[in-house]
Protein backbone atom coordinates (compact mmCIF):
# COMPACT_ATOMS: atom_id res chain seq x y z
CA UNK A 1 0.00 0.00 0.00
CA UNK A 2 2.86 2.34 0.84
CA UNK A 3 5.05 1.36 -2.12
CA UNK A 4 5.64 3.76 -4.98
CA UNK A 5 2.34 4.06 -6.92
CA UNK A 6 2.28 3.22 -10.59
CA UNK A 7 0.12 6.21 -11.51
CA UNK A 8 -1.12 9.51 -10.17
CA UNK A 9 -4.70 8.19 -10.07
CA UNK A 10 -3.65 5.24 -7.95
CA UNK A 11 -1.69 7.52 -5.62
CA UNK A 12 -4.63 9.86 -5.11
CA UNK A 13 -7.06 7.00 -4.57
CA UNK A 14 -4.71 5.32 -2.09
CA UNK A 15 -4.44 8.58 -0.14
CA UNK A 16 -7.95 10.02 -0.40
CA UNK A 17 -10.17 6.95 -0.31
CA UNK A 18 -8.93 5.44 2.98
CA UNK A 19 -8.94 8.91 4.51
CA UNK A 20 -12.57 9.46 3.45
CA UNK A 21 -13.66 6.03 4.69
CA UNK A 22 -11.83 6.55 7.98
CA UNK A 23 -13.41 9.96 8.55
CA UNK A 24 -16.86 8.61 7.72
CA UNK A 25 -16.41 5.67 10.11
CA UNK A 26 -15.19 8.02 12.83
CA UNK A 27 -18.20 10.28 12.28
CA UNK A 28 -20.51 7.24 12.54
CA UNK A 29 -18.93 6.15 15.82
CA UNK A 30 -19.11 9.67 17.24
CA UNK A 31 -22.75 9.84 16.12
CA UNK A 32 -23.54 6.68 18.09
CA UNK A 33 -21.88 8.00 21.24
CA UNK A 34 -23.53 11.41 20.98
CA UNK A 35 -26.91 9.86 20.20
CA UNK A 36 -26.81 7.70 23.33
CA UNK A 37 -25.65 10.57 25.51
CA UNK A 38 -28.23 13.03 24.17
CA UNK A 39 -31.03 10.47 24.56
CA UNK A 40 -30.08 9.78 28.17
CA UNK A 41 -29.86 13.48 28.98
CA UNK A 42 -33.25 14.08 27.34
CA UNK A 43 -34.88 11.22 29.28
CA UNK A 44 -33.30 12.40 32.52
CA UNK A 45 -34.66 15.92 31.94
CA UNK A 46 -38.20 14.57 31.40
CA UNK A 47 -37.94 12.44 34.53
CA UNK A 48 -36.95 15.48 36.58
CA UNK A 49 -39.93 17.42 35.24
CA UNK A 50 -42.34 14.64 36.09
CA UNK A 51 -40.87 14.25 39.60
CA UNK A 52 -41.33 17.97 40.10
CA UNK A 53 -44.97 17.66 38.96
CA UNK A 54 -45.65 14.80 41.38
CA UNK A 55 -43.99 16.72 44.20
CA UNK A 56 -46.26 19.66 43.44
CA UNK A 57 -49.35 17.43 43.52
CA UNK A 58 -48.32 15.85 46.80
CA UNK A 59 -47.66 19.20 48.45
CA UNK A 60 -51.09 20.43 47.34
CA UNK A 61 -52.66 17.34 48.91
CA UNK A 62 -50.69 18.06 52.17
CA UNK A 63 -48.90 14.73 51.89
CA UNK A 64 -52.02 12.59 51.54
CA UNK A 65 -51.11 10.34 48.64
CA UNK A 66 -54.49 8.59 48.85
CA UNK A 67 -56.06 11.62 47.24
CA UNK A 68 -53.87 11.07 44.15
CA UNK A 69 -55.29 9.08 41.32
CA UNK A 70 -53.50 5.83 41.30
CA UNK A 71 -53.66 2.83 39.07
CA UNK A 72 -52.36 3.43 35.57
CA UNK A 73 -53.24 7.12 35.47
CA UNK A 74 -49.70 8.48 35.83
CA UNK A 75 -48.29 5.82 33.57
CA UNK A 76 -50.80 6.71 30.87
CA UNK A 77 -50.08 10.43 31.26
CA UNK A 78 -46.31 10.30 31.61
CA UNK A 79 -45.63 6.95 29.89
CA UNK A 80 -43.25 6.22 32.78
CA UNK A 81 -43.28 3.98 35.82
CA UNK A 82 -43.39 5.74 39.18
CA UNK A 83 -43.19 5.02 42.89
CA UNK A 84 -44.36 7.17 45.83
CA UNK A 85 -43.39 6.31 49.39
CA UNK A 86 -44.70 7.93 52.56
CA UNK A 87 -44.63 6.79 56.19
CA UNK A 88 -48.11 5.36 55.73
CA UNK A 89 -48.17 3.93 52.22
CA UNK A 90 -46.13 3.00 49.16
CA UNK A 91 -47.55 3.26 45.63
CA UNK A 92 -45.73 1.63 42.66
CA UNK A 93 -47.16 1.60 39.15
CA UNK A 94 -47.04 -0.69 37.29
CA UNK A 95 -46.83 -3.43 39.87
CA UNK A 96 -44.36 -5.47 37.74
CA UNK A 97 -41.75 -2.79 38.42
CA UNK A 98 -41.90 -3.31 42.20
CA UNK A 99 -38.71 -5.46 42.35
CA UNK A 100 -36.89 -2.77 40.37
CA UNK A 101 -38.03 0.37 42.21
CA UNK A 102 -38.14 -0.96 45.79
CA UNK A 103 -34.32 -0.98 46.21
CA UNK A 104 -34.21 2.61 44.96
CA UNK A 105 -36.89 3.63 47.48
CA UNK A 106 -34.79 2.15 50.28
CA UNK A 107 -31.67 3.97 49.11
CA UNK A 108 -30.79 7.32 50.69
CA UNK A 109 -29.20 9.05 47.71
CA UNK A 110 -31.30 11.26 45.42
CA UNK A 111 -30.68 11.85 41.73
CA UNK A 112 -30.37 9.69 38.63
CA UNK A 113 -29.94 5.93 38.95
CA UNK A 114 -29.09 3.61 36.03
CA UNK A 115 -29.87 -0.12 36.37
CA UNK A 116 -29.04 -2.57 33.59
CA UNK A 117 -28.66 -6.30 32.99
CA UNK A 118 -31.74 -6.94 35.15
CA UNK A 119 -33.56 -10.28 35.11
CA UNK A 120 -37.10 -9.65 36.37
CA UNK A 121 -40.17 -11.23 34.71
CA UNK A 122 -42.46 -8.81 32.86
CA UNK A 123 -40.01 -5.96 33.56
CA UNK A 124 -37.34 -4.30 31.42
CA UNK A 125 -33.67 -5.19 31.78
CA UNK A 126 -32.38 -1.62 31.50
CA UNK A 127 -33.98 1.37 33.25
CA UNK A 128 -33.16 4.94 34.15
CA UNK A 129 -34.80 6.34 37.31
CA UNK A 130 -34.81 9.70 39.07
CA UNK A 131 -35.29 9.78 42.85
CA UNK A 132 -36.35 12.85 44.83
CA UNK A 133 -37.00 13.00 48.61
CA UNK A 134 -38.71 15.87 50.46
CA UNK A 135 -40.87 16.51 53.53
CA UNK A 136 -44.47 17.65 53.69
CA UNK A 137 -45.68 18.84 57.10
CA UNK A 138 -42.88 16.87 58.74
CA UNK A 139 -43.56 13.63 56.87
CA UNK A 140 -40.76 12.31 54.59
CA UNK A 141 -41.89 11.61 51.06
CA UNK A 142 -39.88 9.82 48.30
CA UNK A 143 -40.88 10.05 44.64
CA UNK A 144 -39.31 7.99 41.84
CA UNK A 145 -40.07 8.20 38.11
CA UNK A 146 -38.43 5.62 35.81
CA UNK A 147 -38.03 5.06 32.05
CA UNK A 148 -37.70 1.78 30.13
CA UNK A 149 -34.45 2.17 28.15
CA UNK A 150 -34.84 -1.07 26.17
CA UNK A 151 -37.37 0.52 23.82
CA UNK A 152 -35.28 3.66 23.61
CA UNK A 153 -32.17 1.65 22.77
CA UNK A 154 -34.09 -0.19 20.06
CA UNK A 155 -35.06 3.15 18.48
CA UNK A 156 -31.49 4.37 18.78
CA UNK A 157 -30.16 1.22 17.11
CA UNK A 158 -32.60 1.65 14.23
CA UNK A 159 -31.59 5.29 13.80
CA UNK A 160 -27.90 4.36 14.03
CA UNK A 161 -28.39 1.65 11.40
CA UNK A 162 -30.00 4.14 9.04
CA UNK A 163 -27.08 6.45 9.69
CA UNK A 164 -24.70 3.63 8.70
CA UNK A 165 -26.64 3.07 5.48
CA UNK A 166 -26.49 6.79 4.67
CA UNK A 167 -22.76 6.80 5.50
CA UNK A 168 -22.13 3.93 3.07
CA UNK A 169 -24.05 5.77 0.36
CA UNK A 170 -22.02 8.90 1.07
CA UNK A 171 -18.80 6.87 0.83
CA UNK A 172 -19.87 5.53 -2.57
CA UNK A 173 -20.73 9.07 -3.62
CA UNK A 174 -17.35 10.23 -2.30
CA UNK A 175 -15.58 7.56 -4.37
CA UNK A 176 -17.39 8.75 -7.48
CA UNK A 177 -16.60 12.40 -6.74
CA UNK A 178 -12.93 11.57 -6.12
CA UNK A 179 -12.73 9.59 -9.35
CA UNK A 180 -14.36 12.37 -11.37
CA UNK A 181 -12.14 14.96 -9.67
CA UNK A 182 -8.99 12.97 -10.46
CA UNK A 183 -9.97 12.49 -14.10
CA UNK A 184 -10.90 16.16 -14.46
CA UNK A 185 -7.67 17.30 -12.79
CA UNK A 186 -5.54 15.08 -15.03
CA UNK A 187 -7.14 16.23 -18.28
CA UNK A 188 -4.23 18.68 -18.88
CA UNK A 189 -1.86 15.70 -18.79
CA UNK A 190 -3.82 14.04 -21.59
CA UNK A 191 -3.78 17.29 -23.57
CA UNK A 192 -0.04 17.65 -22.99
CA UNK A 193 0.53 14.04 -24.08
CA UNK A 194 -1.40 14.68 -27.30
CA UNK A 195 0.63 17.85 -27.91
CA UNK A 196 3.90 15.94 -27.44
CA UNK A 197 2.74 13.30 -29.92
CA UNK A 198 1.91 16.00 -32.48
CA UNK A 199 5.30 17.54 -31.80
CA UNK A 200 6.99 14.20 -32.40
CA UNK A 201 5.09 13.75 -35.68
CA UNK A 202 6.14 17.23 -36.83
CA UNK A 203 2.67 18.77 -36.88
CA UNK A 204 3.67 21.55 -34.45
CA UNK A 205 6.98 23.12 -33.45
CA UNK A 206 6.02 24.37 -30.00
CA UNK A 207 3.67 23.25 -27.23
CA UNK A 208 0.74 25.65 -27.01
CA UNK A 209 -1.82 24.23 -24.59
CA UNK A 210 -4.01 25.89 -21.99
CA UNK A 211 -2.42 24.37 -18.90
CA UNK A 212 -3.28 25.09 -15.25
CA UNK A 213 -0.85 26.94 -13.03
CA UNK A 214 0.79 23.72 -11.82
CA UNK A 215 1.68 22.63 -15.38
CA UNK A 216 2.73 25.98 -16.84
CA UNK A 217 6.35 25.75 -15.58
CA UNK A 218 6.61 22.31 -17.21
CA UNK A 219 5.28 23.60 -20.54
CA UNK A 220 7.62 26.61 -20.32
CA UNK A 221 10.63 24.39 -19.64
CA UNK A 222 9.74 22.09 -22.54
CA UNK A 223 9.45 25.06 -24.92
CA UNK A 224 12.77 26.45 -23.65
CA UNK A 225 14.32 23.04 -24.26
CA UNK A 226 12.95 23.04 -27.81
CA UNK A 227 14.32 26.55 -28.37
CA UNK A 228 17.71 25.49 -27.08
CA UNK A 229 17.79 22.42 -29.33
CA UNK A 230 16.76 24.49 -32.35
CA UNK A 231 19.46 27.04 -31.62
CA UNK A 232 22.10 24.36 -31.27
CA UNK A 233 20.97 22.67 -34.47
CA UNK A 234 21.02 25.98 -36.35
CA UNK A 235 24.41 26.81 -34.88
CA UNK A 236 25.77 23.42 -35.89
CA UNK A 237 24.52 23.89 -39.45
CA UNK A 238 26.08 27.35 -39.63
CA UNK A 239 29.37 26.08 -38.24
CA UNK A 240 29.36 23.20 -40.71
CA UNK A 241 28.70 25.60 -43.58
CA UNK A 242 31.45 27.95 -42.36
CA UNK A 243 33.88 25.07 -42.00
CA UNK A 244 33.06 23.76 -45.46
CA UNK A 245 33.54 27.20 -46.96
CA UNK A 246 36.75 27.97 -45.06
CA UNK A 247 38.60 24.74 -45.88
CA UNK A 248 37.32 24.37 -49.43
CA UNK A 249 39.83 26.84 -50.88
CA UNK A 250 42.95 25.46 -49.06
CA UNK A 251 42.02 21.90 -50.00
CA UNK A 252 41.51 22.90 -53.63
CA UNK A 253 44.91 24.65 -53.66
CA UNK A 254 46.71 21.66 -52.16
CA UNK A 255 44.94 19.28 -54.52
CA UNK A 256 45.79 21.40 -57.53
CA UNK A 257 49.43 21.55 -56.51
CA UNK A 258 49.66 17.80 -56.03
CA UNK A 259 47.91 17.08 -59.34
CA UNK A 260 50.25 19.38 -61.29
CA UNK A 261 53.00 16.91 -62.20
CA UNK A 262 54.80 19.43 -64.36
CA UNK A 263 55.62 21.65 -61.40
CA UNK A 264 58.45 20.48 -59.15
CA UNK A 265 57.81 20.29 -55.39
CA UNK A 266 60.49 22.72 -54.21
CA UNK A 267 60.98 24.17 -50.74
CA UNK A 268 58.78 27.23 -51.33
CA UNK A 269 55.95 25.13 -52.65
CA UNK A 270 56.32 22.67 -49.80
CA UNK A 271 56.18 25.59 -47.35
CA UNK A 272 53.06 26.93 -49.01
CA UNK A 273 51.36 23.54 -48.79
CA UNK A 274 52.29 23.25 -45.12
CA UNK A 275 50.75 26.69 -44.54
CA UNK A 276 47.54 25.63 -46.28
CA UNK A 277 47.34 22.41 -44.26
CA UNK A 278 48.02 24.46 -41.13
CA UNK A 279 45.04 26.66 -41.99
CA UNK A 280 42.85 23.60 -42.40
CA UNK A 281 44.07 22.17 -39.10
CA UNK A 282 43.36 25.41 -37.25
CA UNK A 283 39.90 25.64 -38.75
CA UNK A 284 39.12 22.05 -37.74
CA UNK A 285 40.44 22.61 -34.22
CA UNK A 286 38.38 25.78 -33.82
CA UNK A 287 35.17 24.08 -34.97
CA UNK A 288 35.83 21.08 -32.73
CA UNK A 289 36.20 23.44 -29.79
CA UNK A 290 32.95 25.14 -30.69
CA UNK A 291 31.15 21.81 -30.86
CA UNK A 292 32.41 21.01 -27.37
CA UNK A 293 31.09 24.19 -25.78
CA UNK A 294 28.03 24.63 -27.98
CA UNK A 295 25.83 25.25 -24.96
CA UNK A 296 24.44 23.32 -22.02
CA UNK A 297 23.06 19.85 -22.55
CA UNK A 298 19.90 18.75 -20.82
CA UNK A 299 20.53 17.00 -17.50
CA UNK A 300 24.26 17.73 -17.45
CA UNK A 301 25.93 19.12 -14.34
CA UNK A 302 29.39 19.55 -12.90
CA UNK A 303 31.05 19.44 -9.48
CA UNK A 304 32.94 22.76 -9.40
CA UNK A 305 34.96 22.11 -6.24
CA UNK A 306 36.20 18.67 -7.32
CA UNK A 307 37.10 19.83 -10.84
CA UNK A 308 38.84 22.94 -9.50
CA UNK A 309 40.99 20.88 -7.14
CA UNK A 310 42.02 18.51 -9.92
CA UNK A 311 43.03 21.40 -12.19
CA UNK A 312 44.92 23.18 -9.41
CA UNK A 313 46.84 19.98 -8.67
CA UNK A 314 47.79 19.58 -12.34
CA UNK A 315 48.81 23.24 -12.75
CA UNK A 316 50.79 23.01 -9.53
CA UNK A 317 52.88 20.28 -11.20
CA UNK A 318 53.32 22.37 -14.35
CA UNK A 319 54.33 25.45 -12.33
CA UNK A 320 55.99 24.03 -9.18
CA UNK A 321 57.48 27.41 -8.32
CA UNK A 322 54.01 28.99 -7.95
CA UNK A 323 51.20 28.55 -5.44
CA UNK A 324 47.62 27.80 -6.57
CA UNK A 325 45.00 28.36 -3.88
CA UNK A 326 41.25 27.62 -3.77
CA UNK A 327 38.67 29.38 -1.58
CA UNK A 328 34.99 28.41 -1.59
CA UNK A 329 32.06 27.81 0.76
CA UNK A 330 30.67 25.15 -1.57
CA UNK A 331 30.73 21.47 -0.65
CA UNK A 332 32.23 18.78 -2.85
CA UNK A 333 28.73 17.42 -3.54
CA UNK A 334 27.45 20.77 -4.81
CA UNK A 335 26.51 20.70 -8.50
CA UNK A 336 26.34 23.49 -11.06
CA UNK A 337 24.14 23.20 -14.18
CA UNK A 338 27.17 23.30 -16.50
CA UNK A 339 28.77 20.63 -18.63
CA UNK A 340 31.96 19.25 -17.12
CA UNK A 341 33.96 19.97 -20.27
CA UNK A 342 32.73 23.56 -20.40
CA UNK A 343 33.63 24.15 -16.77
CA UNK A 344 37.05 22.58 -17.36
CA UNK A 345 37.59 24.89 -20.35
CA UNK A 346 36.68 27.95 -18.26
CA UNK A 347 38.76 27.00 -15.22
CA UNK A 348 41.66 25.58 -17.22
CA UNK A 349 42.11 28.59 -19.51
CA UNK A 350 41.73 31.16 -16.71
CA UNK A 351 44.11 29.31 -14.38
CA UNK A 352 46.62 28.62 -17.16
CA UNK A 353 46.62 32.27 -18.16
CA UNK A 354 47.05 33.36 -14.53
CA UNK A 355 49.80 30.79 -14.01
CA UNK A 356 51.78 32.12 -16.96
CA UNK A 357 51.59 35.75 -15.78
CA UNK A 358 51.69 35.39 -11.99
CA UNK A 359 54.85 35.90 -9.98
CA UNK A 360 54.14 33.46 -7.15
CA UNK A 361 50.43 33.12 -6.35
CA UNK A 362 47.16 32.37 -8.15
CA UNK A 363 43.89 32.52 -6.19
CA UNK A 364 40.69 30.79 -7.36
CA UNK A 365 37.32 31.55 -5.73
CA UNK A 366 34.02 29.73 -6.39
CA UNK A 367 30.89 31.52 -5.18
CA UNK A 368 27.10 31.50 -5.40
CA UNK A 369 25.60 34.99 -5.08
CA UNK A 370 21.91 35.79 -5.71
CA UNK A 371 21.36 32.68 -7.89
CA UNK A 372 24.50 33.42 -9.89
CA UNK A 373 27.55 31.18 -10.26
CA UNK A 374 30.76 33.18 -9.93
CA UNK A 375 34.33 32.16 -10.73
CA UNK A 376 37.10 34.60 -9.72
CA UNK A 377 40.75 34.08 -10.68
CA UNK A 378 43.27 36.54 -9.20
CA UNK A 379 47.03 36.59 -9.72
CA UNK A 380 49.93 38.69 -8.45
CA UNK A 381 51.42 39.31 -11.88
CA UNK A 382 52.15 42.65 -13.57
CA UNK A 383 48.48 43.08 -14.45
CA UNK A 384 46.99 44.83 -17.48
CA UNK A 385 46.62 48.52 -18.09
CA UNK A 386 43.12 49.98 -17.85
CA UNK A 387 43.20 50.82 -21.56
CA UNK A 388 43.80 47.16 -22.48
CA UNK A 389 41.25 45.57 -20.14
CA UNK A 390 38.36 46.07 -22.56
CA UNK A 391 40.20 44.27 -25.37
CA UNK A 392 41.01 41.16 -23.36
CA UNK A 393 39.24 38.06 -24.57
CA UNK A 394 39.42 39.05 -28.25
CA UNK A 395 40.23 36.04 -30.40
CA UNK A 396 43.90 36.01 -31.46
CA UNK A 397 44.86 39.04 -29.35
CA UNK A 398 48.13 38.67 -27.45
CA UNK A 399 49.36 41.56 -25.33
CA UNK A 400 52.84 40.10 -24.93
CA UNK A 401 54.39 37.99 -27.70
CA UNK A 402 57.12 36.75 -25.32
CA UNK A 403 54.68 34.54 -23.44
CA UNK A 404 53.83 31.31 -25.33
CA UNK A 405 50.29 31.01 -26.59
CA UNK A 406 47.89 31.70 -29.43
CA UNK A 407 45.61 34.30 -27.89
CA UNK A 408 42.63 31.91 -27.85
CA UNK A 409 42.27 30.95 -24.16
CA UNK A 410 40.39 33.98 -22.88
CA UNK A 411 38.36 34.15 -26.09
CA UNK A 412 37.22 30.57 -25.54
CA UNK A 413 36.24 31.41 -21.96
CA UNK A 414 34.23 34.41 -23.20
CA UNK A 415 32.42 32.33 -25.84
CA UNK A 416 31.51 29.58 -23.36
CA UNK A 417 30.35 32.09 -20.76
CA UNK A 418 28.16 33.96 -23.23
CA UNK A 419 26.56 30.74 -24.45
CA UNK A 420 25.35 30.15 -20.89
CA UNK A 421 24.00 33.70 -20.71
CA UNK A 422 26.89 34.85 -18.52
CA UNK A 423 29.53 37.56 -18.66
CA UNK A 424 33.33 37.63 -18.49
CA UNK A 425 34.90 40.78 -17.00
CA UNK A 426 38.44 41.85 -16.16
CA UNK A 427 39.76 44.22 -13.51
CA UNK A 428 42.80 44.88 -11.40
CA UNK A 429 42.89 42.41 -8.52
CA UNK A 430 43.76 42.86 -4.86
CA UNK A 431 47.14 41.24 -5.46
CA UNK A 432 48.03 43.80 -8.09
CA UNK A 433 47.60 41.47 -11.05
CA UNK A 434 44.65 40.60 -13.26
CA UNK A 435 41.28 39.65 -11.77
CA UNK A 436 39.09 37.63 -14.15
CA UNK A 437 35.43 37.19 -13.13
CA UNK A 438 32.95 34.79 -14.76
CA UNK A 439 29.33 35.48 -13.77
CA UNK A 440 26.73 32.96 -15.03
CA UNK A 441 23.07 33.06 -13.97
CA UNK A 442 21.68 29.86 -12.49
CA UNK A 443 19.02 29.48 -15.16
The pLDDT of residue 405? 41
SS (H, E, C) 277-300: HHHHHHHHHHHHHHHHCCCCCCCC
Residues 283 and 308 in one domain: no
Q: Which tens digits make up the pLDDT trace of 250-290?
A: 676 677 667 777 767 677 767 767 776 776 776 676 666 65
Could you tell me the pLDDT band of residue 292, with boundaries at 50, 70 and 90? low
Which residue has better confidence, 179 or 407? 179
The pLDDT of residue 63? 75
Q: Give exposure, 28-58, as e/b (b: 16+ Cβ within 10 Å).
A: eeeebeebeeebbeebbebbeebbeebbebb
Of 153, 174, 198, the domain-final residue: 153
For residues 326-346, average pLDDT: 88
Report if residue 176 sits inside a domain. Answer: no
Residues 287 and 248 in one domain: yes
For residues 159-186, average pLDDT: 82
Could you tell me the pLDDT band of residue 375, with boundaries at 50, 70 and 90? very high
Residues 285 and 367 in one domain: no
Of 242, 272, 292, the domain-final residue: 292
Phi then psi for residue 142, to 5 deg, are -125, 130
State the CATH number of the domain containing residue 149: 3.30.450
* Residue 73 reports pLDDT greater than 60: no
In contact, 408 and 393? CB cutoff 8 Å: no
Please tell me the pTM assigned to this model: 0.41
For residues 111-118, average pLDDT: 82
Could you tell me the pLDDT band of residue 326, with boundaries at 50, 70 and 90? very high
| Domains of the chain: total | 3
Q: DSSP letters of 129-186?
A: EEEEEEEETTEEEEEEEEEEHHHHHHHHHHHHHHHHHHHHHHHHHHHHHHHHHHHHHT
Domain residue limits at 100: 10-153
Amino acid sequence: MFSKPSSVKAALLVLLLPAGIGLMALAWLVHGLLLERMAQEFVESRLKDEVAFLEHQIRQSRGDIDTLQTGDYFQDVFHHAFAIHSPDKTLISPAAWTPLLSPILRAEQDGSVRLHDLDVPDAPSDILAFRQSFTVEGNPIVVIVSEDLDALKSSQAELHAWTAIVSILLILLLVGVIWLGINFSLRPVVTLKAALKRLQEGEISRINVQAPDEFRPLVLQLNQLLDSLDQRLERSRDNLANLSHSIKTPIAAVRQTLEDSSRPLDADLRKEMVARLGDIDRQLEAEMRRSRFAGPQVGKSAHPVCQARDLLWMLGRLHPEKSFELSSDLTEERRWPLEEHDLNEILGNLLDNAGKWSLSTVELSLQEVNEHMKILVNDDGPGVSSESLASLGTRGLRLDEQIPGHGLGLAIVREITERYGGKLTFATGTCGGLLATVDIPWS
